[in-house]
Chains A and B, each alone.
Chain A
Amino acid sequence: MKSHNGPSHRSFERWYWGLWVLLPMAWLFVYPFLWMFLSMFKGNQEIFQPTTLLPEQWDLVHLRRLLAGEWFPFWRVLGLSLFMAVGQALGAVVLTSMAGFAFAKLRFRGRSLLLVACLFTIVLPRQLLVVPLFEWVHRIGLHGSVWGVMFPGMVSGLGVLFFTQVFRQVPDAYLETACLEGANEWGAYRLLLPMLGSCLLSYGLIHFILAWNEHLIPLVVLGGAEQQTLPLALASLYGSSLRFPYAALMAGSFVAMIPPMFFFLFSYRRFRDALSNVILS
């Protein structure tokens, strides 16, 4: 990022006007999460006073009870969520990058028709098709199985368009060299992949976050309480009874936030660069 690019560097030499706008906003964005973290230690009465931030005493008993699986099998639920989100992200990256390569570098009949089909999956997301999807998944026997969540999740039109754009930016010369060496299209695709590491990673990351956060599809497909993802388990705990310790809910929510935050922090810069290269071109 070069700082001399972009607007407003000259007419706003006094850079602190931005600070005056953003610092109070940043507080508004961070406070609820800080409060959630600290509420892990509190009793119900303290929690229902959201303006108090610090707990009276630092009591980890609720977190311990949650991890011990008092309300739901915590580690199994966490493992299942991670497995589903990672599997879905990996599958989506592989499938959509293959399709994106074909769209960007090969000419064939029906190409634009298929691209429009991908556009449609963005415009009509599967959340809107949830009822027939439920019926269909039921019929083919994937009801209650993690595959019934993961397979529909991999149909990502956004991914196909993203990778089409990415592969378009790769010069054709690489492809021609590969063909001279005797590689077919499949070989050329695999040859190009390592060059696009950060794009693959960025998209995988976004897809992981979307899959991790998804609520409706797992709720409908997984059905009963036997197999749950973390957001589902938390939502079902909420409001289960008045005496239920909300601190456990806060602890669980905090745990649910860790994976997306961690992965995003890990590849924040790459994501930003990939974004400004692709969407903006």
Chain B
Amino acid sequence: MSAVSSRSLAGLLGPFFFLFILFWLVPLIGGLRLSLHSNTLVGEGVFVGLEHYSELMEDARYFKALRNTSFYAFFTLALILPVAVVFAHALQSLGGRLRSLLQFAMLIPGLTPPAVLALLFLLVFHGRQGLLNQWFVMPLGGQPINWLKDPDVILMALIMQCAWRWVGFITFFIHSGMQAIPGMYYEALEVETHKAWHRFRWVTLPCLRHVILFCLMYLVVDAFALFSGAYVLLGGSGGTADAGLMLVSYTYQRALAFGEFGSAAAMSVSVAPCLLGILGCVVWISRRWAFKSGGHKA
């Protein structure tokens, strides 16, 4: 492309990056600064160095929140992705109008404000009368479970809520991806094999690599930013014995309920490298995997 005048470049990029600096970069740096100062909201705190971080290392609740969040992220992924792949194949086997209808029905939870969803879920999980107990647990001969009070199952309830919410969207993405695979790839494979599993393993899965990577990233980030679901469902606390304590809700609690801004900022800052590390691993694994299976196919 020809030489670009810096004026029009600034005009095109300027507005976005102005807001980027003002509302993303400055808060990030501000968070770093805040985490090194004592706990005051207005006015300058005293510089305390890494004190908040060493405090965090001894804070059992922080580790509990970190563990809960990682658990939550991992199990939502493990639950949603395989189910979504099955659903996408099921959708593919249906005809036009019915397919659109079912697809739309699955998307409804993802379109709904999470505050509303949490409200609905309160009644799904609610005591003995809740849907989950009435429809699934008791007919299968189990004792009714108190989903929101029993510390052993709170996290499970949150995970189920998340799976129910996002599975439709992930199915939607994967199904769109499947439709974009040219039919001739399958015809080429038919020369060698007729097994359905092979079709999936050697054509569908490699072609869906980018979509699946996108879904993975989306779900991991969403899990780490989880707030509304846990906040409304558990009334702003971590639930019984902190079994449902999540990172963002703990940060929120420390900052806005206890006024400990420095500690809360240290918490936010400490999550960033964790999240970046996890996402880096995801990308790295998918690259390696792509190289392997792509090489084999070609």
Give A186 to B9 CA distance when docked, in angstroms.
8
Q: Is B19 an interface residue (CB 8 A)?
A: yes
Q: List residues of chain A with CB within 8 A of the CB of B94.
A: 15, 18-19, 22
Give A36 to B123 CA distance when docked, in angstroms.
10
Asked whether B134 lies within 8 Å of A215 as measured between CB atoms, the reply is no
Q: Is B256 an interface residue (CB 8 A)?
A: yes
Q: Is B126 an interface residue (CB 8 A)?
A: yes
Asked whether A130 lies within 8 Å of B113 as measured between CB atoms, the reply is no
Q: Tell me how far the C-beta of A94 lies from the nearest C-beta in chain B, rounded to whole angstroms.
A: 8
Asked whether B31 lies within 8 Å of A50 as measured between CB atoms, the reply is no
Give A231 to B2 CA distance when docked, in angstroms.
49
Q: List residues of chain B with CB within 8 A of the CB of A275.
A: 173, 176
In chain B, positions 93-110 with a C-beta closer than 8 Å to chain A are 93-96, 98, 100, 102, 104-109
Q: Is B66 an interface residue (CB 8 A)?
A: no
Q: Is A191 an interface residue (CB 8 A)?
A: no
Asked whether B111 lies within 8 Å of A99 as measured between CB atoms, the reply is no
Give A102 to B28 CA distance when docked, in angstroms.
25
B interface residue count range (under 10 / 10 to 19 / 20 to 34 / 35 or more): 35 or more
In chain B, positions 249-298 with a C-beta closer than 8 Å to chain A are 251-252, 255-256, 261, 264-265, 268, 271-272, 275-276, 279
- Mostly helix, strand, loop or mixed at chain A's interface? helix
| Cross-chain pair count, CB within 8 angstroms | 303
Q: Is B186 an interface residue (CB 8 A)?
A: yes
Asked whether B225 lies within 8 Å of A128 as measured between CB atoms, the reply is yes
Q: Is A64 an interface residue (CB 8 A)?
A: no
Asked whether B252 lies within 8 Å of A216 as measured between CB atoms, the reply is yes
Asked whether A7 lies within 8 Å of B181 as measured between CB atoms, the reply is yes
Known: A179-B2, A257-B112, A280-B210. A216 touches B9 (CB 8 A): no
Asked whether A279 lies within 8 Å of B210 as measured between CB atoms, the reply is yes
29 interchain pairs, CB-CB under 8 A = A5-B181, A18-B93, A18-B94, A19-B90, A22-B87, A22-B102, A26-B105, A29-B168, A36-B116, A98-B11, A123-B221, A123-B279, A128-B225, A131-B261, A131-B268, A151-B22, A152-B24, A155-B20, A172-B1, A216-B228, A231-B113, A235-B115, A253-B120, A260-B111, A265-B104, A275-B173, A276-B177, A279-B214, A280-B211
